[in-house]
Amino acid sequence: MHLIMILNSLAVAWWLRSAWNQPQGSWSLRWRRSLFLFLFPPLLIFMTAIAVLFMGPQGQMGGMYTGSISYLLALIYLAFFAILCIKLAFQGWQSVESARNCPLVNVGDRRARLLQTGALFAGQIGFWQPELVVSQGLVQTLSPAHLESVLAHEQGHHYYRDTFWFFWLGWVRSCTAWLPNTEPLWEELLALRELRADGYAALQVDPLVLAESLLLVVSTSLVSSEICCAALGSSGVERLEQRVEALLAPPEATPEAQLQSWHGFLLAFLPLLTVIFHS
């Protein structure tokens, strides 16, 4: 019976992910749909594995005997999740330590770590309280107005705690790379993250100046790791046109997360209810 539960959760997860296509519409609609399809399938599998593990390798459920194979599969899968989390946390810690080795400087009215490179780079690096990291090339190349627009964008990442939340989303990405459309959904979430930070910055600086900064920085981005890093060019050159068009269009309100938008995720916890039918 436990094996049937696991197979059903895998089938539902695969079906949901396969149903994804490039969404159209507002930022809010795209964000809710992409986040649901990215998170719900692995959450359903994760809750099913926890339920199987909690019920144990012996007993009955619905008049059917349970075996140790499904219990072992759930245990292996959860252990795999834990190992990947530890691995990503260690890589993130290395990124943070590397950033902290850079000297602290004043950039405008902000404190930042200065990266000794001629490439154009600006990013938030860290977990819940990330640090601003800028390159020497960025400070020397951009005008004060363009530099301020870049810093406003990075302040948006800090405001939304993007480094923290996308660390966990990156963990989900690593754990479910075998599911269909994992990479397209991840790229979509990255693009929407950057559009949100762009929108935050556009309320403080001239959107046209920020668009010009994007053209300069994104084309020379040196982001090699997305773990605990939210950089101006992390959405890639292929998303540049979309971001520039969004900046030049009338501003779109970025709604705060609402409780009702999370109701759908409660369905992923249904496997936990099966524990009461186990004996």
Could you tell me what percent of the chain has a pLDDT over 70?
82
pTM of the predicted model, to two decimals? 0.85
Sign, CA dihedral 79-80-85-88, equals: positive
Instruction: Give the residue from 186, 190, 110 showing the smallest Cα distance to 154.
Output: 110
**CA-CA distance, 186 to 183, in Å (whole number)?**
5
Longest dimension (CA), the chain: 73
Average pLDDT over all residues of the chain: 82
Q: What are the boundaries of each domain within the chain?
A: 1-277
CB 120 within 8 A of CB 220: yes
Greatest mean pLDDT range, 22-36, 91-105, 247-261: 91-105
CB 111 within 8 A of CB 104: yes
Q: Pairing relation of β-strands 60-61 and 229-231?
A: unpaired
- The average pLDDT across 156-168 equals 93
Instruction: Give the residue from 36, 31, 34, 40 showing the smallest Cα distance to 12.
Output: 40
**CA-CA distance, 19 to 5, in Å (whole number)?**
21
- The average pLDDT across 259-275 equals 73
**CA-CA distance, 239 to 245, in Å (whole number)?**
10
Cα dihedral 75, 80, 83, 85, rounded to 10, equals -110
pLDDT band at 259 (very low <50, low <70, confident <90, very high): very low
Residues 57-109: pLDDT tens digits?
Answer: 665 555 555 567 777 888 888 899 999 999 999 988 888 888 888 898 888 78
